[in-house]
Amino acid sequence: SQTIHQWPATLVQPVGSPLSLECTVEGTSNPNLYWYRQAAGRGLQLLFYSVGIGQISSEVPQNLSASRPQDRQFILSSKKLLLSDSGFYLCAWSPPPALYEQYFGPGTRLTVT
């Protein structure tokens, strides 16, 4: 069966510091991968998605970037965090080619102070 992992589970970082969140998927090959952000009291916002190694699509301009160095690894990064980057970050995967459903990881709670 497939599983998706995210770490760390929680993170407190000062403004201006770098960020690296990691997501890995097990039990499947060539998944579509997604990064979402969920701000307090709001729905999910798609940040990035990837259909293959090195292929990243950005949905909104922001202070963040994503990379996919391996087939089942997806990394969310920032060089300098802003206060507005605080939120709950969720990684998800879906079986290609159709996007009929996505499977979410446990999430990372990021607080920028």
Please report whether residue 32 would count as binding another protein according to CB under 8 A.
yes
* Phi, psi at 99, each rounded to 5°: -105, 65
Question: CA geometry: angle at 16 spanning 12 and 18, to 5°?
Answer: 65
Q: For residues 78 and 85, is the Cβ–Cβ distance under 8 A?
A: yes
> How near is the Cβ of 16 to another protein at its closest, in Å?
26
Smallest separation, CB 68 to another protein (Å): 14
Q: Among the candidate windows 14-22, 44-52, 61-69, 77-85, which touches another protein by CB under 8 A? A: 44-52
Contact (Cβ atoms closer than 8 angstroms) between residue 105 and residue 88: no
Nearer to another protein, 79 or 112 (CB): 112
Window 52-111: residues binding another protein (CB under 8 A): 57, 59, 88, 90, 92, 99-107, 109
Within 10 angstroms of residue 46's Cβ, the number of other Cβ atoms is 14
Q: Judged by CB under 8 A, which stretch of 12-20, 40-48, 65-73, 77-85 contacts another protein?
A: 40-48
Q: How far apart are CA 57 and CA 7, in angstroms?
A: 22
Taking the mean position of all CA atoms in its chain, how far away is CA 31?
14
Interface positions with another protein (CB under 8 A): 6, 32, 34, 42-44, 46, 49, 51, 57, 59, 88, 90, 92, 99-107, 109
